[in-house]
Chain A
């Protein structure tokens, strides 16, 4: 789960990371009063989960509170990469002498949190990694001992020659590490970490992603989820305990298991179709899940046919068949449905489907070819 900058700032400041004052606003008048309180020139920043906010016009300088209100007026409601801006962050504009990058990620290869720091801050770190890898220092932390003092200082000295500045930065590294481990992050990033003309080191941005698996035991973090920033169908799916991702094609897919769901989408493409979604109904048997899945998929007007691909293991195929039956009795499904099922209780499942005039296939390739042909006929 990605946090907005203003949410990340709260976690950073709670850990003691020096950041400019400021606050989040939902209206121009709120933005104006924040600007008045912090004084001087401010930056008004769109709070959306998209990169390139500046280029899209979502970041504006304002010299007076009235200008801040004006900037907020322009940015609020603006659409950046399809996402409507609901909130702006108002912070004092900082004078910048130098910019650095500090990031902490959960690294799959070393199976540890890994720091990445670079004196080339303020720009895309992946680009730095590709073009000038010597400008990045990486350091894996053993989570059982935490970030050791000499490790923090080594990272800081890669960024600052001045020892006072390096010590200040080392402290920020330790604070960032605390943010990361105490909130179950998969990413915590400061880009840029700036040096002011007076030599102070300040974090100007806060980018945080939380491991989704952490949210069950951390309701405080789960509350930070911004559902207005998501596809409505994906929000509905999550509430129904389904994993759903909307795509741009027209073959709706209902599958059990993530790997099989991906392989099903790939096979749709292989036979000349385009998947409309990724949907995993999960392992447990529950006809309600199937009903919810069909409701979500049929709400997409692009969908021209629906494919079920169920390999029964823990999932009972008769439960899936019952789910289809229940759904069809509850609401109209105007597009054709192709069902492939095999495994646990398939004989019962086939009977249930036959009872409502539907056929069930047992072969995945045959089912995918059939659904792709149906979509082509409909076009």
Chain B
């Protein structure tokens, strides 16, 4: 199906964007054809936002905690987690394509190699927008309030898309290297650990001990700070730029990691 998608793209020799959009279209069709594969990525962040804000409601009473609404703190985390799993979900799908041999047919298609990275990335972004929007709707129903103005929504979407970019690079890179479902466990584990070893649960000024030392240097802390800009105080440049830099650097590195994995597959 995808081979025909690539062949029917706008120019005779498929362009990068034509092929990428073809692959994105295929990725989105998978949501409709196999909703059970996408459903966890949608349900999990909603559940997480609800469960964390209810269970850990009391932490907002810790002196120095930046908001008195636990949903304001945990909803952006849920959105970022969902975005991350939207990204690695493309890694799972790629493993399936490699195992069935479909990816070999994609590699033989007359399309730029980068389309095999960019296509899944565009799919991940689309899925991320769906997930973040769903989480936001539930969050607002549960009482989340924008404290940093409407621009706070923009920072949440930017941070979520950034995390999705990193996760896609991570997922694809590992899928190209492992080429079977062993890679799926590493994808999830890496993602889980990197997100939770940050300010995911509490801000830096509240946490103590070893986690504080780790979270300070974890770039995800900056991305989460960016995501929460509109929900835990005023939106400021000083609270945003670190997250933007982290997204740019980590996103680029992990996409290169994916591309090098694809090159290794070709060899």
Do they bind each other? no
Residues of A within 8 A of B (CB): none
Residues of B within 8 A of A (CB): none
